[in-house]
Amino acid sequence: MKTLVWTDGSCNVEGVAGRGGWAALIERDGSTEQLVGSAVETTHNRMELTAVCEALERVDGAIEVRTDSTYIAKCFSEGWHIRWRRDDKWRGSNDPVKNRDLWERLFALVDDDAKDVSFVWRKRGKEANNKIVDRLSRDASKSHPEVPIPPLPRIVSGVEAFPRAPTG
C-alpha cells in the first residue's frame, strides 16, 4: 500500500523575517500522522525541504509526496538532482545551489533502498490535506519566538549574575 505525504513550509508570516514553520501529514494504513516544526533565521525553501525530509525519515515503502513547492517537484521531474550531483557540480542555472545541506539530506532519503519515493506537484490550496499542512506550517512559524530567548542568569555565590555590557 502506498503512503501519501503532504508537505508545506512557510516563512516571514505576519512580516516577521526569517521565522519559519514546516508541516507534514503522513497517511498510511488508514491513519494520519501530523508533523510540525519551526525555525528562526531560515527561508521558505528551507522549510519546504525540511518538511519533506522530516516526513521521509518516518516512512518506508512506496511513498508519494504531494507538494505545492515547484522548487522540490521540479528538482525531481526535471532532473535537477542528476545534474547537481553529476561530477559534484552543484550549480543551478548560474549560481551554486542553495540549501545544499538539505538537498543532500533529501537525496539520501530518496536514494534509500527501503523507499520508493515519487513527487507530485499540487496547486496550492486545491486539496484538503494541502490546506491543512499550509495552515499548520503557518501556525508553526507564528508559534516560534520572534527573537532569540536571552540566556538565564547565572547564579554566583547566591547572587544572580547577568552578563554586563562594557562601560566607557
DSSP symbols for 86-136: GGG--B-SSSBPTTHHHHHHHHHHHH-TTEEEEEEE--TTSSHHHHHHHHH
Total count of domains within the chain: 1
Rama region for 41: left / alpha / beta (φ>0; ψ in -120 to 50; rest): left
What's residue 21's pLDDT? 93
Q: In CATH, what number is assigned to the domain containing residue 39?
A: 3.30.420.10
**Residue 20 corresponds to which cell in the numbers above?**
519559519
Determine contact, residues 93/33, Cβ cutoff 8 Å: no
Please report the pLDDT score of residue 153 as a whole number. 52
Q: Confirm whether 166 is domain-assigned.
A: no
In a domain, 167, yes or no: no
Asked if residue 35 lies in contact with residue 28, where contact means CB atoms within 8 angstroms, the answer is no
CA gap 163, 114 in Å, rounded: 50
Domain, as residue range, for 107: 3-161
- Taking only the tens of pLDDT, the chain with its 168 residues reads 899 999 999 998 777 678 899 999 999 999 999 999 999 889 999 999 999 999 999 999 999 999 999 999 999 999 888 888 886 777 777 788 889 999 999 999 999 999 999 999 888 777 889 999 999 999 999 886 654 544 555 555 544 444 444 555
Whether 18 is in a domain gets the answer yes
Residue 156 lies in a domain: yes
Q: What is the pLDDT of residue 80?
A: 87
pLDDT for res 107: 95
By the 8 A CB rule, do 163 and 40 touch?
Answer: no
The whole-angstrom distance between residue 107's C-alpha and the CA centroid of its chain comes to 14
Grid cell for residue 49: 525541504
CB neighbour class for 64 (10 Å; exposed up to 12, middle 13-18, buried from 19)? middle
pTM of the model: 0.82
Residue of 129, 11, 21 whose CA lies nearest to 67: 129
Is residue 168 one of the residues assigned to a domain?
no
| Residue 145 included in any domain | yes
pLDDT of residue 1: 86
